[in-house]
Amino acid sequence: MPIHEKSLIRPENLRVQENLELEGVDVSGHWSTFIESRVVSDYNEAIEDEIAALPGGEYIHRCWQCGSCTNACTVNAIDAEFNPRHWIYLVRIGLESELLRDKEIIWQCVSCNKCTYACPRDVNPEGVMKSIAHWLELKGHTAKSPAAHFDEVFAGQVFATGKIEEGRIIRGFFARTGQALRQEWLMVMARRMVRHLPLRMMFVMALGSVLQPKTQGWGRARAAIGEHVAEQKAREHKALGIAGQERS
Partner 1 sequence: MSKPVLVVGGGPAGLAAAHGLASIGQSVVLVEKEDRLGGAPILSGYAKLIPSGEWAKDAIGAMVARTAEHELIECRLTSQVDAFSGEAGQFQARLSDGATIDAGAAILATGFSHFDSLNKPEWGFGTYDDVVTTVQVEQMISSGSGVRCPSDGRKPERVAILLCVGSRDRQIGREWCSKVCCTVSANLAMEIREELLDCNVYIYYMDIRTYGLYEDLYYWKSQEEFRVKYIKARIAEVTSDGERLIVKGEDTLVKRPITIPFDMVVHAIGMDPNIDNMKLGAIFDVALESHGHIARGSAYSAPATTSRAGLFVAGAACGPETIDDSISQGQAAAMAALAVVKQNQRGAA
Residue 35, classified by CB atoms within 10 Å of its CB into exposed (0-12), middle (13-18) or buried (19+), is middle
Contact status: 90 vs partner 1 (CB under 8 A): yes
Instruction: Check residue 46 for interaction with partner 1 (CB under 8 A).
Output: no
| 92 touches partner 1 (CB under 8 A) | yes
Return the residues of window 175-194 that contact partner 1 according to CB under 8 A.
Answer: none
- Between residue 55 and residue 74, which ones bind partner 1 under the rule CB under 8 A? 59, 61-65
Handedness of CA 59, 120, 105, 13 (dihedral sign): positive
Q: How far is the CB of 10 from partner 1 (least distance, A)?
A: 11
d(CA 105, CA 98): 13
Shortest CB 17 distance to partner 1, Å: 24
38 binds partner 1 (CB under 8 A): yes
208 CB-near residues (< 8 Å, 6+ apart): 163, 165, 167
- Please identify, using beta-carbon distances, which residue of 122 and 184 lies nearer to partner 1: 122
Question: Contact between 89 and partner 1 (CB under 8 A)?
Answer: yes
Strands 25-26 and 14-15: unpaired
Binding mask 110-129 for partner 1 (x = CB under 8 A): -----------x--------
**Which C-beta is closer to partner 1: that of 64 or that of 203?**
64
Strands 25-26 and 21-22: antiparallel
Q: Do 61 and 51 form a contact (C-beta atoms < 8 A)?
A: no
Closest Cα to residue 69, out of 119, 105, 123, 122?
A: 119
Residues that bind partner 1 (CB under 8 A): 38-43, 45, 48, 59, 61-65, 86, 89-90, 92-93, 95, 98, 121
